[in-house]
Amino acid sequence: MMRGTVYRKAESWLAVLFLAIVMTACNSGGKYEVKDGTVYFTYWTFSFGTQERELQDVDIATFESMKNWLARDSHHVWYKDQLVEGAAPATAEADDYPLFHDKRDYYYEGKAIGVADIQSFKVLKCDEDELWAVDKQYAYFDSLRIDDSDPATLELIGTFEAKDKRHIYYFGRILEGADPETYQILDGNYAKDSKHVWFCGDIIEDADVETFEAESTHDFEKPDAHDKHGDFRHGKRIEGKNQ
């Protein structure tokens, strides 16, 4: 159900980290520069060297660089070179990168979160990979509000995973059928509870829960899990490899 963006992000996590280092500069490492009355956001990439993007619709007389990733003028707020729709420049304040807020809302990577109770908003984890936060009414992942969450009992249990008394959350989405009481994270993007085994958020229908074990390996061609019936690789049973 959650294959696609979520699956690829989890399964290729090491590859994503490598590409982020090789192809781009540190996300917070850019800066704003004014040249001949025009404002640019400049940054460095491994492949193409220094790059610059022109900010649109800038009032140069009131332009201000608040951080090397956040700027404003009298009418607008920018996250890097992205114009942040709806953000109030007069009350905008930078939090931990890449999070900022104004008097009405919080914004993660330039996207409005839609915080229900800004006075009780509390960040549990914030970096360029993920945001987990709560207020009195909801839990939040990145710029997603989790409507059926219980913020009072929410706790982080792994990279991109959290639980409360109601649900397990995987990339901010409810992991349907998961039992918060027995859910455990295993090696290699596997997890299981008393009834199911998951790989990257998808149930492995033919896995034997009781005997299922995952083992860490850096060789993508080798099995990375097994149960009493045989081996698995990347969440798929390897045919003809029964133990």
For the entire predicted model, the pTM comes to: 0.83
Distances (CA, A) of 87 to 84, 91, 132, 171, 237: 6, 9, 21, 25, 49
Q: Cis omega (within 30 of 0) on the bond before 98?
A: yes
Q: What is the largest CA-CA distance in the chain?
A: 72
Instruction: Render each residue's pLDDT in the chain as its tens digit; 243 residues.
Output: 444 444 444 444 444 444 444 444 444 579 999 999 999 999 988 888 889 999 999 999 999 999 999 999 999 999 999 999 999 999 999 999 999 999 999 999 999 999 999 999 999 999 999 999 999 999 999 999 999 999 999 999 998 999 999 999 999 999 999 999 999 999 999 999 999 999 999 999 999 999 999 998 888 889 999 999 999 999 999 986 554
